Structure 1
Amino acid sequence: MERYKIIKEVGNGSFGVVWRALNKQNGEVVAIKKMKRKYYSWEECINLREVKSLRKMNHPNIVKLKEVVRENDILYFVFGNQGSW
């Protein structure tokens, strides 16, 4: 997650915290969701219903999942292309 600089917290819910962040490589503004639960395997992460659904969806009213990152058993979703966060 060193590629991103956190700007501010956007929301906090039951399953995770969402931040507005800046991609240090290309300057793109993204949203990053950090899941509160720990995930101990990559297979466990990709089998989540949220990941399976977001990977398939492509609609202007639905935020686009750009990347899924697992670091130190913490799961992050990176969302982009949604105007200004």
Structure 2
Amino acid sequence: MRRDAAWHETDDLYLLYHRPSGETHMLAPDLFAILEAIDGEPLDAPGVLAALAATHDIEAEDDAPLAVIEARLAELVALGLADRL
């Protein structure tokens, strides 16, 4: 996980403290999984899908998860937790 963040898992959310901004974010498990998959690496949506498919029950050839990942990446960029490629 990123060095610029500290996190804590609750029952159904992840609390993530982003040190550079001083903000704490509540993330759903899918957003946290994408953040873990990125782990500071420059990945686009297909790269994130491939990384998630390696550890989760996701079909990497299916376009439906790709659209969801693209939307979630946009959310992470808007929060300042990921950079746009």
TM norm structure 2: 0.39
| Higher strand proportion (structure 1 or 2) | 1
**Relative contact order (C-alpha < 8 Å, sep 6+): which is higher?**
1
| Higher helix proportion (structure 1 or 2) | 2
